[in-house]
Structure 1
């Protein structure tokens, strides 16, 4: 579980990151969870964009992604979700 200070630190790091995944009308499936999990292992912090044609609520999408990947939800802002998962092999971010 992330503290408020850690979330604030991660939000500042994620500010300049572009979303690299998009969730559309197909919603969350095993394939996207697997790809996001691989990306989190390499990057630790990433943004996921939710397209307007997605039928699911953004909170539900964020919860499904976090549970499927074992990541923490840093923030849901607009149609973007910021996820963080500490990397085993590629540790780059030192949390305060």
Structure 2
């Protein structure tokens, strides 16, 4: 899925009020962490997570690895925070993606 500038701008605006749901630390990208992000993306479609200082991963690498693994899009990486978007497969959770498609 590719997003145009207006869609990315809208998603950044929507994520601004959200708090980070997850923190990635020294354990890195574990299957449990990936599963939690996957289930959160399925229900919320927009997920924000932080990279802690004790992590060996870089934020860019971690965000793109998660996005490619879970078929998501990296909306933004800033500081130690990354924002991911993926359209939900269930219609009842596709509230945000319907608005994004309209842009």
TM-score above 0.5:
yes
Higher relative contact order (CA 8 A, sep 6+): 1
What range is the shorter-chain TM-score in? over 0.9
Paired residue secondary structure (1:52)? coil
Runs of at least 4 residues off by over 2 Å: none
Q: CA–CA distance in 1 between the matches of 2:79 and 2:30?
A: 22
Does the 8 Å CA contact 1:22/1:51 hold for their aligned counterparts? yes
Q: Which residue of 1 aligns with 2:35?
A: 34
Task: Give the RMSD, CA atoms, in angstroms.
Answer: 0.8
Q: Which residue of 2 aligns with 1:80?
A: 81
**Which runs of no fewer than 5 residues in structure 1 stay unpaired?**
none
Q: TM-score, normalised by structure 2?
A: 0.90
Q: CA–CA distance in 2 between the matches of 1:49 and 1:19?
A: 6
Does the 8 Å CA contact 1:34/1:69 hold for their aligned counterparts? no
Q: Return the structure number with greater helix share.
A: 2
Q: Does 1:92 align with 2:86?
A: no
Q: CA–CA distance in 1 between the matches of 2:4 and 2:34?
A: 25
**Which runs of no fewer than 5 residues in structure 2 stay unpaired?**
none
